[in-house]
Each structure stands twice: as C-alpha cells, then as structure tokens.
Homo-oligomer: A and B are copies of this chain.
C-alpha cells in the first residue's frame, strides 16, 4: 500500500536530518550568501567580513548576519586571528548533504 511505503521512508529519515537539510537550503537560498560560498570555493581563499562588505556593497552588520547564518548550519568554519575572523568552507557538510554542488559553481 502506498501509505505503508510512505511511512517507512519518513521513518528512515529522521526529523532531525530533515531539519538540517532545510536549514542548509535556507542558508544557501540567498544571493549574497551564495556569492560568499562561490568566492570561498573558487578563490581557495579565506575571507573576512570587511572584504565581503566592500565587495558586495552591504553594511558590516548585514555581512555579520550572513556569516553567522552560514556558520550555524555548518557550511563554513571560522578561524580567528586577533579581532579578525577568517571564513572558509566546511567541506564535510557539502560532501554529506550536497555532494557535487560546489563543482557546479
């Protein structure tokens, strides 16, 4: 029966996993954050809030907001040197939830 197979599938994927997927998609569903991800991937460079703010022409509070959005869902890492924070990609998260995605950028 259809309802049976549907239930099995729902059970096989925990609600927690699903929430994680939705959170990751939400994080990527925004133009500026997507640009940040692409630059991090294509330049093989870390970035700071100041750099991003200057390039994307958005206020530093907004950049900080986007950096946090990417970090809390595990898409990026933060390395701090004094008061400067360097952002880089957390490749393990991409590999697990979006394998092959970065290469499409």
Contact = CB atoms under 8 A, between A and B. Distances in A.
Interface of A: 2-3, 5-6, 9-10, 13, 18-19, 21-22, 25-26, 28-31, 34-35, 38-39, 42-43, 45, 51, 55, 96-101, 103-105
22 contacts: A2-B45, A3-B55, A5-B43, A6-B39, A6-B43, A9-B39, A9-B43, A13-B38, A13-B105, A18-B31, A18-B34, A18-B35, A21-B28, A22-B28, A22-B29, A22-B30, A22-B31, A25-B26, A29-B29, A98-B98, A99-B104, A100-B101
A77 B49 CA distance: 41
Given A18-B34, A22-B29, 11 more contacts: A3-B55, A6-B55, A18-B31, A19-B31, A22-B31, A25-B26, A25-B29, A98-B101, A99-B101, A99-B103, A100-B100
